[in-house]
């Protein structure tokens, strides 16, 4: 993850290296976005990237995030051995199971090994706005709002009533003014431009 920086070239370089793969664990992105702004986590970052204190009148905090899918993967430490979870499946809801592999944090399969209860596990889950990953994301957003930070969110997709859209709506500071629904690339560009203009307006007013 790229720490806070004012160097545009570092950000664009990091973005170009991103790859699209796997499931959607948006709560992880929301969490790390907040860790980069909260002074509680200052020790994680280089000194010149450390987030400012909440009572610093010269600092305004903005958290901006986007998803193009529903959150459908959560992580937990330990739990039943992977071979057990793979053999018997993960129950999503009544009569529906996921029988895939149990995967650890670095995406290597341990489905044929035993007692991997001392590592981070990845668990796919049914897509909805109240599953574990969505609930965690909304909880982080709620805590971030309490500090006075402004949260902007964008849902990029075709259904403004989808699970992912509902999470983005819940996370926005104000669903009417800081949440954006983008159906296509033009809408997405317009959303980011609107957010940029609002942030510039805040800084100019200060």
Going from N- to C-terminal start, the domains of the chain cover: 29-69+130-205, 73-124
Q: What is the DSSP letter of 43?
A: G
Higher confidence at residue 72 or residue 162?
A: 162
Q: What is the pLDDT of residues 177-196, one digit of tens each?
A: 999 999 999 999 999 999 99
Helices (H), 43-131: 82-88
Q: Span 146-157, mean pLDDT?
A: 96
**What share of the chain has pLDDT > 70, as a percent?**
76
The predicted pLDDT at position 67 comes to 94
Q: Span 131-145, mean pLDDT?
A: 93
What does pTM read for this prediction? 0.77
If you average pLDDT over every residue of the chain, what do you get?
A: 81
Where residue 27 falls among pLDDT bands split at 50, 70, 90? very high
Which 3 state secondary structure label does DSSP give 44?
Answer: helix
Does pLDDT of 106 surpass 70? no
Does pLDDT of 131 surpass 60? yes
Where residue 98 falls among pLDDT bands split at 50, 70, 90? very low
Which architecture characterizes domain 29-69+130-205 according to CATH?
A: 3-Layer(aba) Sandwich (3.40)
Spatial CB neighbours of 82, under 8 Å, sequence gap ≥ 6:
101, 102, 104, 110, 111, 113, 116, 121
Cα dist. 163→54, 56, 69, 128 in Å?
A: 32, 36, 8, 5
Both structure tokens of 18: 């991103």
Q: Within the chain, what is the greatest distance between any pair of CA atoms?
A: 60
């Amino acid at each position: 993850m790229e720490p806070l920086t004012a160097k545009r070239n570092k950000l664009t370089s990091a973005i170009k290296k991103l790859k699209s793969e796997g499931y959607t664990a948006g709560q992880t992105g929301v969490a790390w976005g907040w860790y980069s702004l909260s002074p509680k986590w200052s020790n994680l970052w280089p000194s010149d990237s450390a987030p400012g204190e909440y009572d610093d009148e010269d600092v305004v905090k903005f958290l901006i995030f986007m998803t193009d899918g529903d959150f459908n993967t959560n992580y937990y430490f330990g739990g039943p051995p992977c071979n057990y979870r793979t053999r018997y499946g993960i129950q999503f809801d009544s009569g529906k199971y996921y029988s895939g592999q149990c995967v650890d944090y670095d995406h290597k399969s341990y489905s044929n090994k035993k007692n991997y209860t001392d590592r981070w596990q990845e668990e796919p889950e049914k897509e909805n706005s109240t599953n574990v990953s969505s609930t965690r994301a909304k909880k982080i957003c709620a805590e971030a709002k309490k500090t006075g930070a402004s949260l902007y969110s964008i849902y990029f997709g075709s259904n403004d009533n989808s699970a992912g859209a509902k999470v983005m709506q819940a996370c926005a500071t104000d669903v009417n003014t800081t949440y954006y629904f983008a159906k296509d690339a033009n809408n997405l560009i317009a959303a980011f431009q609107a957010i940029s203009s609002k942030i510039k307006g805040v800084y100019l007013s200060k």
